[in-house]
Structure 1
Amino acid sequence: MQEHHVVVVGGGFGGLQVVHGLKGANVRITLIDRRNHHLFQPLLYQVATTALATSEIAWPIRRLYRDRREVTTLLSEVGGIDRQNRKVILTSGETVPFDTLVLATGARHAYFGNDAWEKHAPGLKTLEDATTIRRRLLLAFERAELASTEEEKQANLTFVVIGAGATGVEMAGMIADLAHKVLPPEFRNVDTRKTRVMLVEAGPRVLPAFTEELSAYSKKALEKLGVEVLLGTPVSDCTEEGVKIGDDFTPARTIIWAAGVQASPAAKWLDTPSDRAGRADVGPQLNIPSDPDIFVIGDTASVMQDNGKPVPGVAPAAKQQGAYVAEVIKSRLAGKTEQPAFHYRHQGNLATIGKSAAVADFGKIKLTGVLAWWIWGLAHIYFLIGTRSRLAVAWSWLWIYLSGQHSARLITQKETLKDEA
């Protein structure tokens, strides 16, 4: 009898957890991803703000499964799904047949109908995004050093982060720390302590996923770092020259988008219902309603909790869904037709503010300050893959904590100051 073929599209947290959970099962697995690495997205902003190197938060997928002979890894991009003939269609024109399909294709940043803003306000979802933002950050200071007028100097020293979720808060705090504490001794013609970091949020508070108490603490901690927090006013335009917030225009050469996400086209590939963000509607066992053998998980899926709220788009949720789907597949292969519905276990919310403050919400237990920062750091190191990565990240953080220096401040692309501006 031919082995059951499971195709997993997406090498993020959810996809890898499916592959991990199927170890030892009588299945053949094909893992498809358009990049050759698994990325630890929660620390992506630290690459963008020069705290970590790319190799410290990403690992080659092939290396992860070199000892799993039943796993085939394909570096390719999916262009569609032929449900009738049970095939995944690659953009190269080739097809991959499947018995069971798991789509864990993640999400990209969304500009709410203003896609032209992406050129001026990049988001942060990939290593390419992180290195682009890092380059723009560092070149902004270099251009300020060369600027011949105070107006141009200040425009280059103004950084605007749009969106005050965890990514936006963490990004703004790290930029402020970099500008106000790390860089001042290194420049001669410009005082980087005069850098203006603005965090803009259309909603009423920062970190809306946290309690109001922790949100208020985070706002004060950001302001203590020198971040200007603007709440209740949406951005109305982003250009090469700056950003328009409400009716006011602020000259700024560096704008970073952290305001919204849009799911991958998976729901369109499957011709299945989805929510406004493009996330595919799934049933209690995370399969699409019209096909029990096609699962959608992670940021690609719209999964509801028992309280009627959606499961948050965070790494622990994707990992739980991946582990659940692996168990469902194994149970079905064993002839068990009934499986319990997926139940999300909330493990708490964590967010860091600068290099020594954070907030942690574990339900009844809520922490702030240095203790929360240490818990945040330990939690993230624990989920990194491999001893080498854990040691490298721990050493980088210890170096920053003790010396105040960021070690990954390299501008590696060939663009000149003029080209980048």
Structure 2
Amino acid sequence: MSSPNHQDNRAVQQDARAWKAFTQSNYTAARRWITSPLSQGILGPKLSARHLVSTLETHPGLASKDGTPCLGNDGYGGSSGWNLNNEEGFARLCLIADFLRLFTPTSGDDNAKISSYELKHTAERFLGQYCTEAAYISNGELIWAAAALGLPVTGQSYGSKNLLIGISEAEHRYMRQLLNDPAPRAHHHRPAGLDFLQEMLPRCVNGEILSEQWDKPSTVIEYSAFHLWLTEQSRRNDRVGDFTSDYIAGVEMNEHKIAQSPSDLLEILAGISHSPDAYDSMVEAISGWYATSPDSEPIRRPMIENESGSHAGYGAGPGSIERLVFRCPCGDGQIIEEHENIPGFREHDHWFDCAKCKGEWRFAENRTVRDWAIIPR
């Protein structure tokens, strides 16, 4: 039985011979290129030179037709051929593959919507921060790496050298925003492997062979019943429909987080510029949610002040008065919680110190003063 080291060495030899033949280079150079630290694979297995060459020969959408190559440096149907007879060529394909591994694949060719030309620019901007080998990526290289990974590659339009690549639009949009100004303000669409790739790329550039492996998480974004309900309301033809449509657009564009609860929705609106009508529409939406889901957790507002002072008392000994101030829903007033802890005179109370909120909100029933929460009237 062959040892693992012998098998690995044999695979390197086979890859070197395949790459030598494809690039018409010499064996020593080809072996050096495919064993470069930049080619080792960060978010997945090392990309095989034999598999890369086979992809061009057997991929149903890219294989040569009548002896004419379908893919070249400049893209699908390109006539430029390939310019890979250098160390950077193979390493660049491996780096592109690691970049593409960031994204969740789509479920089929019909859902492939990201242009290879747009995606290659995203890859250039991201990878070029770390290594000059990937500061320029050809359209054909991007398509080739995507096909080698088994991503959906389809959708050539008449006269275009670009193809559509099947990766998550939301995750790609996040990466585009991350590389531009302003950066995304929410991170629910952040690719799972991004932190690991950002940490390991500089080490590979410095010539290190990595011992760490990335364990791809199986978790996906979980949407609460409240968020899904808001999504349904976006189809309404009224001001609640307009408000929830704007909310959904903000989630998709990474402008704010996902509202898992009505409390989250209040927090989101408080953090962005909005009109009085937007606030009123939100209150109407939240009221509709509680009407359909009366057992949902009521809303607790954030504390903005906590004061406590001593009191001489009324003859039975000294005590204290505790006053807690919370932000009201509209943001123009306060919710007050007060506790008079004086012997013989103990009182606990809470109230709205805001005329607008007092008319629109009420304290939920069957809760203590310290455990208060609110719902729309």
**Do they superpose with TM above 0.5?**
no
Question: Bigger relative contact order, structure 1 or 2, given CA contacts below 8 A and separation 6+?
Answer: 1
Normalized per residue, which structure has more helix?
2
TM-score normalised per structure 1: 0.20
Normalized per residue, which structure has more strand?
1
TM-score normalised per structure 2: 0.22
**Structure ID, larger Rg:** 2
